[in-house]
Structure 1
Amino acid sequence: MNDHVRDLASVREATDRLLAATGKLDNAAVAQPSLLPGWTRGHVLAHLARNADALVNVLTGLPMYASAEARNADIERDAPRPLAIQLDDVRDSAARFQEAAASPADWNRTVALRNGVTDSASRIPFRRLIEVELHHVDLGIGYELEDLPEDFTGREIAFLTDRFAGNPDVPATLLTATDGQQWRTGRAEGDPVSVTGSAPDLLGWLAGRRNGAGLETAGAPLPVLPPL
């Protein structure tokens, strides 16, 4: 069961952590490459701001983005801005999201996201939490996958394994974290490939942030995952 109130509080806390960390940067650091190929830290911050506004659109029944081209153009436009403007934009857009998500609503309704994806409105705060937490890591400023809250890491692994479940291009796979948690994904048929490692390493592999070097597969090839 999704607890959108709890998740909304977690989004606020994660946003505060990100703003406090990025507030220690300078304009030159914002212009430097992030951990995402082709994106500077400014791109990441611009994306976070525009994603908050896009999720407000989702919650209010509007298209998430006018188009894929408009989404990309907005990020490119906003990426070169000075740090102070970036931080104000992330802070202000986050406040708009908090306000929209705190409004009385039917949280069991289905909402439309990008590329034909739909979801329960109750999961939108968690989707925003994913954006804030993972992109904080992507900034490359010392916040690592190991620093993510344990509860978030487990939920995001479950979210991603569910996303790949039944995908014919992903072999049956059993993921086991070193703390004993397990998840299944990929095709339903066939003997599963066993993938074992720490929860942060499993998340990094599923989310395309790590290449799986820290994972054990008992000699089997590590499954190739489709892009997110």
Structure 2
Amino acid sequence: MTAPAPDTLLAELHKAAAAAASAAGKLTDMDVVAPSTLSGWTRGHVLAHIAGISHAMARQLEYAARGETVELYDGGQDGRNNAINAASGHDAATHREDLQAALDRVLKAFDSVAGPEAPGLAGPGSDPSESGAGKSGVTWQTPIAYRGGVVLDGGLALWRELVIHTSDLGTGPGAEAWSRLFCEHLFDFLAARVPPGDKLVLQPLGLPPVTIGSGGRSVVISGMITDIAAWLAGREPSLGSLRASAAADGVDLPTLLPWPSGVPAAQ
């Protein structure tokens, strides 16, 4: 998977966390019980989820520093859902406090990994002082339980969660404010949503095309890069620029597969 360099990702995490905290800071008690842009979820549900995934990802790194792995959420998907529902009804002040505590915890965990290491350079038996490991001894290639991956995967996941769900609050800019770097990352990560029989040629206006999927039916999706990324992420495109075509004829946008989940359902 193409990914930003660790120092760039770390800066993006801080920027996304600041945006989430700023959005939460503007909400009143009435605001948090109002609907978000996600069907069936209030803004309180969204805030509870952002706090929950931040704590969960911090825990991944904290266990990694001890040479251990732990499931993302206690109780898997059910545990995640129960925690969101339990916290969703908090008042605005409690949401702000909970969110800030979670963001502080997860940024501290990722800041401890910061260093000059490039993804893929650290290996078994390598000296942390030479590989760019942070204060925790964790490198960007240290294994974590999330997706059976490494710390870098956890950082990318947190970036997605913070940026997308801050937009889901519906209190400020939506997907139209997503950066090109973030949109291109979503193209890569969300290629898993392309049905097996399809190949999508993504044509952002004014930018080179990107092909995802390897099926026999080729569909061109053209529009602003943020609209394409929003559609892939299951969100409403903000600028209304999306067009789909196959063999030069206009067609409906393809139906995508579910979002690739890193949380296995509880058995």
Tell me the TM-score normalised to structure 2 length: 0.76
Alpha-carbon distance in structure 1 between the residues aligned to 2:215 and 2:184: 25
Letter in 2 for 1:5: D
My pick for the range that moved more, 210-219 or 43-52, is 210-219
* Counterpart AA for 1:179: G
Contact 1:2 1:123 in 2 (8 A): no
Q: Is the 8 A contact 2:186 2:229 kept in 1?
A: yes
Q: Could you say which residue in structure 1 is the equivalent of 2:107?
A: 98
Are the equivalent residues in 1 in contact too, given 2:228–2:237 (CA < 8 A)? no
CA RMSD of aligned residues (A): 2.0
Say if 2:211 is the partner of 1:180: no
1:36-76 CA-partner distances (Å, limit 9, x unpaired): 01100000000000101111222222110112211111100
Q: CA deviation at 1:123?
A: 2.8
* Amino acid in the other structure paired with 1:29: D
Q: After the TM superposition, which residues 114-125 of structure 1 pair with which residues of structure 2 at under 5 Å, given as runs?
A: 117-125=147-155
Note the C-alpha offset of 1:99: 1.6
Paired letter, 2:149? D
The residue number in structure 2 matching 1:164 is: 193
Shift of 1:191: 4.5
Which residue matches 1:75? 84
- Go from structure 1 to structure 2 and tell me whether the alpha carbon gap of 1:38 and 1:191 turns closer, same or farther (over 3 Å shift): closer
**Residue aligning to 2:222:** 196
Q: Secondary structure at the match of 2:27?
A: coil
Give the structure, 1 or 2, with the largest relative contact order (CA under 8 Å, sep 6 or more). Answer: 2
Check conservation: 1:205, 1:211, Cα contact below 8 A: yes
2:207 counterpart of 1:205: no
Confirm or deny that 1:63 pairs with 2:71.
yes
Cα deviation, residue 7, structure 1: 1.3
Deviation by residue 1:145-176 (Cα, 9 ceiling, x = unmatched): 11122322222222212x336x52x5111111
Gaps of 5+ in 2: 64-68, 113-133, 260-267
Give the structure 1 partner of residue 6 of structure 2: 4
Deviating more after overlay: 25-34 vs 209-218: 209-218
Which SS does the other structure have where 2:149 is aligned? strand
Calculate the TM-score normalised by the size of structure 1. 0.89
Could you tell me whether the CA contact under 8 Å between 1:173 and 1:195 is conserved in 2?
yes
Aligned length: 221
Q: Which structure would you say has the larger Rg?
A: 2
Query: Helix, strand or coil for the counterpart of 1:217?
Result: strand
